[in-house]
Amino acid sequence: MLPIDAFFPLPGQLGGVAIRWSAAVVLCVTVCGLSPDLVATCLGTVVVAGAYANHGLVRYRLALRHTDRPMVTRLDLAGPLPVPRHDITSPADEGHDAMVGLVAVTVYSAAWVVMWRVLPAEGFAGRALSGAAPLVAGYAVLQALPGLPLEGGRLFRAFAWSVTGSRPGSARASERYAAWIATPMIVAGIWSLPLDAPRPYFGLALAATGWHLAVTSAATRRRIAWQYQSQSVPLSRYVPGLVLPPGASLSRAARLVLEFKVPILILPSDGSTPGVITRQTLEDQPRADWASTSVGRVMIPIARLPALQLDETVTTAVGLLQDTGQSTLVIFAGNHPRAAVTLVQLVGSLPI
């Protein structure tokens, strides 16, 4: 399990300590003097919340680590990825983000109240169901609302801005939210388990929601950090790329693609149309034919791929790939192709 401190910024480091000690004290009190049913509820809170938080972070890290797999370009609540589609600090989003934040707060609050009143509190199964129900109901309502692009970080950035008064999408708002809102929610939810023994599922819901929002806030900060870095990194960083003549065998190209996990630019010496060999190109050809097939026969012509000059930035390249739905980009120096890069390569090459 990942350390709790990874979910919170300064002064959220103190929040991580508070959460650990709160969970330990409540668990000890529960084991010593309260019912076994409540012991199971406390353990379930810690285990479920921790597993859910780790799911988002682990999925995010694996997406960057396994660069031979397609990159998901849509942000979602389960595992946000640091791929900005638009400028997330645009002032034009202030009014919309404020409205989304208000809707989110209203929907989740209403779901908590309704579920707290109507669901039973008998048995561990009933309590666990009651604890998860507000989260499921709130998320379902928010997804069903028309006209709200509720991508993972955007929803809770809006809430953070409406509470803290910081600029929408700013790292400062995300840090304040994690330190001042999400951490107290987790601590309050843990302590409410023994203090409100007849209805401990409310504390379960509060702690799990706080943990979920804290993880989302941390992913938002990473996405913002990635965007700031990518705006200052030119595509010339990826030049020169791997280059082969069109007469090279597909097996030779396969060794390079699998070793370096980057596409190969095919440059004919006679001035004919260049092309690109990607991992998908290799997978489309039978392995038995690799040795007898030249890369010039199966390459993708560069006219079918998006292209940018090498003085453009990584941010521009990622936005172009997302808008065109392609996964490979050709980098030009004037009229001459110099390298080919993938969306996974662009996103994963910058430290977060």
Residue with tokens 């008998």: 122
State the CB neighbour count (10 A cutoff) for residue 46. Answer: 18
Distance CA 255, CA 250 (A): 9
Domain boundaries, the chain: 4-230, 235-348
State the CB neighbour count (10 A cutoff) for residue 103. Answer: 18
Per-residue pLDDT of the chain (352 residues; tens, 9 = 90+): 333 334 333 334 445 555 555 666 666 655 565 555 555 555 555 544 444 444 444 444 444 443 333 333 333 323 333 333 333 333 334 444 444 444 555 555 555 555 555 555 555 555 555 555 555 555 555 555 444 444 444 444 444 444 444 444 455 555 555 556 677 777 777 777 666 656 666 677 777 777 766 666 666 666 667 777 778 888 888 888 888 888 888 888 888 888 888 888 888 877 788 999 988 888 888 888 888 888 889 899 988 999 999 889 888 888 888 788 888 999 998 888 888 898 888 877 766 5
CATH topology of domain 235-348: CBS-domain (3.10.580)
258: tokens are 């699998």
Q: What is the pLDDT of residue 258?
A: 81
* Residues in Cβ contact with 95 at an 8 Å cutoff, skipping those fewer than 6 apart: none
Distance CA 208, CA 99 (A): 24
pTM higher than 0.95 for the full model? no
Distance CA 77, CA 212 (A): 9
Q: What is the pLDDT of residue 162?
A: 43
Q: What is the pLDDT of residue 276?
A: 92
Q: Give the burial class of 304: count Cβ atoms within 10 A of its Cβ; 0-12 exposed, 13-18 middle, 19 or more buried.
A: exposed
